[in-house]
Chain A
Amino acid sequence: MMVYSWQDLLSSFRILLGEPLLNTMAIMLGSTLLACLGGIPLGVYLVLTSPGYPLAAERLYGVASSVINILRSIPTIILVILISSLLYFRYSVYRPTDFALLLEAVVMWAIAAIPLCARLVESAIKEVDKGLLEAALACGATVRQLVRKVLLKEALPGLILGITTLSITILGTTVMSETIAIRTIASRAVVRATIDNDGEFIVSGIAILAAIITLVQTIGTKAARHADKSR
């Protein structure tokens, strides 16, 4: 039985809204951004090599698709631990600062999120009417022009919603961040509530996460609606 007072609850908010909030936002926003740098080109590549698209290559698409499926079936935390254990050698060279550790975490989470990002981008672009593809090619567009000026532009609302989903998924996986010594809101809430028996942290943690998710989703939905001129 975990008993806590109002004062405990308030102080748990104060603690979570400090460093854990900064770490959480750094991973959520930074990793989403980095994952897009890898995931968008990969998603575009998946679309172009799909059957019925300009660079259709059944084998290549099949291989890329399976690799993504396999990577996606591995839980984020296992990928992160794998990458971090590959990085252990660095301790023999130097001792990373807290900031360097956070940067590493952002990169690791981004790498782990690339396969999901690629899939979300692929499905958003495949929503674009294929007739439009034909029209652009008939106008004499090159594949590069087709991607930049037609596919990405027309898929923008779907891409925004996909990236919103991606960032919220990344937020969810930060619950495991303490395995590499990064304290985020979700991880703190779990550790404090289960190991230190401070139940108030799970309450304040959920409240803060709910607020962040609501905010991000609201912004994403609004931005997508603004970008969609088809209604």
Chain B
Amino acid sequence: MKHIEPIIVFKKASKVFPTAEGGENEVLKDLDLSIGRGRIFGIVGLSGAGKSTLIRLINQLERLTSGSLLIDGQDVTKQHDGDLINLRRHIGMIFQNFNLMRNSTVFENIAFPLRITNYTKEYIENRVNELLETVGIKEYAQSYPSKLSGGQKQRVAIARALALHPDILLCDEATSALDPRTAKSILDLLKSVNNDLGVTVIIVTHDMSVVRYVCDDVAVLDGGEIVEQGLVSDIFANPQSLIKTFLHGFGGGQA
């Protein structure tokens, strides 16, 4: 197996949230995780396992309580606000609920990251048209998101996430609100984004079929810890306890 250079490395990463009662809730515990450049990496786990927190640490929407996080060899936990904004411009993100601006057209939504980065009008125009082509929604450029289907909305969100040529694309339950056929087409698009543009894709999901369909690597998160990790092909060939629960659905695992 050839050596894969890591793009994201968590070392002894912990995240603690204060609870409403004044206590502490440790969402991630001393987590070590390395994500290879150019891979499609799946993070699976049950609700409350800490998946969403983990993915938000990567673009620093959440800050680590302790430990370190290296992205491209740089420790981002020590960065200041200006650097953070720069970091985020190299990391795209898409969401379960798409999170598009309802009062802006498809074109304006995709242009948003470009406009806040002070590109020229001509560049933005060209880049957005290119992106519309990439995600296959050229005819909807002047539509408002309310006129689009779920799959089309997610395509707009993907185009927006790709606007600044990111190295990393974060997908937070990006296909969970879509029907299976639409979900598959979005996953195919993510595959081609990974393949053609060389973007490292990180997918958080509770759906094993998503992992099996697109991911190269997978990490299973349970109670804030990684309980299983490896190549998707290996893990599915020899599933351990939690994966079994996933695979067998309601019938499997300890009842």
Binding site for B on A (CB under 8 A): 129, 131-132, 134-142, 145, 149-150, 153-154, 156-157, 227-231
Contacts and interface: CB of A to CB of B under 8 A. Distances in A.
Nearest to A153: B103
A145 B112 CA distance: 10
B61 A134 contact: yes
Nearest to A139: B113
Nearest to A135: B99
Contact of B95 (A134, A142, A154, A228): A134
A7 B241 CA distance: 92
A135 B93 contact: yes
Interface stretch (B36-44, B83-91, B211-219): B83-91
Nearest to A136: B112
B146 A231 contact: yes
5 contacts: A137-B88, A139-B163, A140-B87, A145-B116, A149-B116
A138 B101 contact: no
A129 B163 CA distance: 22
A150 B101 contact: yes
Interface string B127-160: 0000000000000000011100000000001001
Interface of B: 59, 61, 85-89, 91-93, 95, 97, 99-104, 112-113, 115-117, 144-146, 157, 160, 163-164, 170
Contact of B91 (A138, A154, A228, A229): A138
A150 B103 CA distance: 9
Contacts of A136: 112
B95 A131 contact: yes
A230 B116 CA distance: 23
A3 to B, nearest CB: 56
A131 B89 CA distance: 18
Given A131-B95, A150-B112, A230-B144, 19 more contacts: A129-B97, A129-B99, A131-B99, A132-B99, A132-B101, A134-B61, A135-B93, A135-B95, A135-B99, A135-B100, A138-B88, A139-B164, A141-B116, A142-B85, A154-B101, A156-B103, A229-B103, A229-B144, A230-B102
A131 B163 CA distance: 19
A227 B101 CA distance: 13
Nearest to B143: A229
Contacts of A229: 102-104, 144, 146
Contacts of B93: 135, 138-139
Contact of A140 (B88, B103, B170): B88
Contact of A153 (B99, B104, B160): B104
Which residue, A141, A150, A154, has most C-beta atoms of chain B within 10 A? A141
A137 B81 CA distance: 12
B89 A140 contact: yes
B113 A149 contact: no
Contacts of B91: 138
A201 to B, nearest CB: 45
A155 B136 CA distance: 30
Contact of A139 (B86, B97, B104, B116): B116
A1 B59 CA distance: 76
B118 to A, nearest CB: 11
Contacts of A134: 61, 95, 99
A217 B85 CA distance: 42
